[in-house]
């Protein structure tokens, strides 16, 4: 059983009411229920945590090392400027996949750059809530050791 922490950062508790044209009308609870549904067909167990506070996100990353096999992280706006979260990701040995619900690349220019992504094994952007399932599949694949299929240059 692969254990994954799904860690959502600031303002993601506002899903459903926050800019629905960008993030859709479904809530964070809907997102978590979708993942629980997904986990029924996969040997994966999710735990969920959301915080609006940078230090809490950092603590959650640190604490996850002993308890989980990997992290799906949507750092929200921290993505674009939190070197502290980037360092937290680099400080743990478990893999992290970064997810963004919206396509940050067709939005404001400040969203185009992620300071956190270089510390992750990869980033999934622009596929809505489905991106979390893609991230879970990528993490499971990575954790089970199949990532050697990809040749790096
Ligand atoms: C987001 C994109 C960020 O730019 C933004 O600050 C968020 C949500 C996304 O999931 O699309 O809070 O991470």
d(CA 109, CA 118): 18
The pLDDT assigned to 108 comes to 97
More confident residue, 94 or 41: 94
d(CA 75, CA 111): 12
Q: Which CATH architecture has domain 2-143?
A: 3-Layer(aba) Sandwich (3.40)
Task: Give tens-digit pLDDT for 8-23.
Answer: 999 999 999 999 999 9
Residue 141: count other Cβ atoms within 10 Å of its Cβ.
Answer: 13
Spot the catalytic one: 23, 83, 130, 141: 23
Q: Say what the alpha-carbon torsion angle 17, 125, 128, 66 is, to the nearest 10 degrees.
A: -80
The pLDDT assigned to 151 comes to 45
What would the two tokens of residue 24 be? 């859709």
- Give, using CA atoms, the residue closest to atom 6 of ligand 1: 77
d(CA 88, CA 113): 18
Q: How far is the CA of 40 from the centre of ligand 1 (A)?
A: 28
Spot the catalytic one: 81, 83, 100, 141: 100
Task: Give tens-digit pLDDT for 94-149.
Answer: 999 999 999 999 999 999 999 999 999 999 999 999 999 999 999 999 999 865 55
């Amino acid at each position: 059983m692969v254990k994954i922490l799904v860690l959502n950062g600031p303002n993601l508790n506002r899903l459903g009411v926050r800019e629905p044209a960008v993030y859709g009308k479904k809530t964070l609870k809907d997102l978590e229920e979708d993942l629980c549904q997904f986990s029924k067909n996969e040997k994966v167990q999710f735990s969920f945590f959301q915080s609006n506070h940078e230090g809490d996100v950092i603590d959650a990353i640190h604490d996850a090392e002993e308890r989980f096999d990997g992290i799906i992280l949507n750092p929200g706006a921290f993505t674009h400027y939190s070197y502290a979260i980037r360092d937290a990701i680099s400080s743990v040995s478990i893999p992290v996949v970064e997810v963004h619900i919206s396509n940050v690349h067709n939005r404001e220019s400040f969203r185009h750059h992620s300071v956190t992504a270089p510390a992750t094994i990869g980033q999934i952007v622009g596929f809505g809530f489905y991106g979390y399932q893609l991230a879970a599949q990528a993490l499971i694949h990575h954790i089970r050791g199949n990532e050697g299929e990809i040749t790096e240059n």
